[in-house]
Amino acid sequence: MKTKNWMVCILFVIMQMNALGQNIPVIETRITSPYSFTDTELKLDEELESLLKKYPALYSDNDSYKNQIPAKDRERFEYIINKKGENFESMVWSTDPMGCSWYCGAYHFETVSSSLSSTSSSGYDASSIFDFDVRTAWVEGAKGYGIGEYVEVHFPINYAQATDCYIVNGYNKDERIWKNNSRVKTMNLYVDEKLIGIVNLKDTRDEQSFSLPDTIPNLSDTTAFKIMEVEGEKYKVSTLKFLLTDVYRGDKYDDTAISELFFNGIGVHCIVEGANVSMVDGLTKNIENIKPGDSLLTYNLKENKYSKKKVKLIHSVYHDTLYTLGLSNGESITVTDDHPFLSSMGWVSIAPSKTKKYKRYANQQVYELKIGTQLLAKDFSSETVNNISQITNRRKTYTLEFEEDGLAFVVNGVLVGQE
């Protein structure tokens, strides 16, 4: 067992007192998803995972494939998925958002101050904290409880920006292991070495989250960004550091662990380059040529009228999965599946549940966009979605942001929502 390093503890108490004297915000996390699964639930999902790996045909709707699987295993599979319900593919340990999420347009890489040595194939290094699996964990490797150890997440520019952080605290392989190891109680949050918050974490196996004080990277000031090289590629990055300052002590070990750390943010629901945006002067401009301060023709949903609004921010990221909508007027528009359009019903998107994760749309009804949906055109006539096709080649995309909510703007002749 590691010995306590009281000098480090005293140093960080002094640092915390200084931070509080500087009016650094104290951030309380909120519980967002349950991960206090029982051993029975864990074993059931591990059995299901084993069956699916052994018999990929279980995914198939073709009975002739399934009939090749031994009856005993087929019956066991049916029993498990009936017990789990319609979300049977979502394992109790998985934090993977499934489908195209913020991570479709995001990219970050990580470093840690230390890691506990291990003979296990999974290990306790940085990769275990970003694998969407709460059964693995980053475990610090310093003496004592790891006060002063840290995780750094490096966010390159030209990718989606993070606004929210999600954490599964402790080593959540099962309840016994979680209790035996130490968990993070408080940590200092730094952006490019500047202290921006003190985060108080709850002592729970469940996922907890908090909103970052600012978007990361904050593109309004890039002077503190640094150049990092990863696999031969150079990136200009903003670095978010999580520095441990206090812990909930484990029943058996002083090793402090975090199972998962991941993010959500903006700059994801986007429109592909080349789309025509209607300006206030009646002309159009390709979306990639729009600049902050440009005046666009916008529609105010509350006032039911068009008005001139200036662009506040432009978000630009790359996407690997996009959808092209073929419209009844012969036009087409290529977007991410969560990009909102204005229709005769209100807001619609291909993936409404994902659209509602954005703060602007969280409290609004968002309907499913599908073939036959009537999108509102600039003159309030309807344009029917005749077809929807998925494209998987990497494309640069853009979305715009204005100063206020409740606005739509015109792209390729139809009304779309802002970031």
What local confidence, expressed as pLDDT, does residue 4 receive? 44
pTM of the shown model: 0.68
Average pLDDT for runs of 10 along the chain of length 419:
48 53 88 91 93 82 74 90 79 75 80 89 87 95 96 90 92 96 98 96 96 86 91 94 98 97 79 92 92 92 92 79 92 90 94 77 89 95 95 82 85 90
**Is the residue at 119 inside a domain?**
yes
On whether both 18 and 78 belong to a single domain, the answer is: no
On whether both 225 and 148 belong to a single domain, the answer is: yes
**Domain end marker among 49, 84, 119:** 84
On whether both 46 and 24 belong to a single domain, the answer is: no
On whether both 14 and 134 belong to a single domain, the answer is: yes
Structural domain boundaries, residue 313: 271-417
**Is the residue at 1 inside a domain?**
no
On whether both 117 and 179 belong to a single domain, the answer is: yes
- Count of domains observed in the chain: 3
What local confidence, expressed as pLDDT, does residue 97 receive? 66
CATH of the domain at 339: 2.170.16.10
167 and 201 in contact (C-beta within 8 Å)?
yes
**Domain end marker among 84, 117, 149:** 84
On whether both 153 and 177 belong to a single domain, the answer is: yes
What local confidence, expressed as pLDDT, does residue 160 receive? 79
CATH of the domain at 122: 2.60.120.260
On whether both 33 and 150 belong to a single domain, the answer is: yes
On whether both 102 and 228 belong to a single domain, the answer is: yes
**Is the residue at 21 inside a domain?**
yes
On whether both 132 and 32 belong to a single domain, the answer is: yes
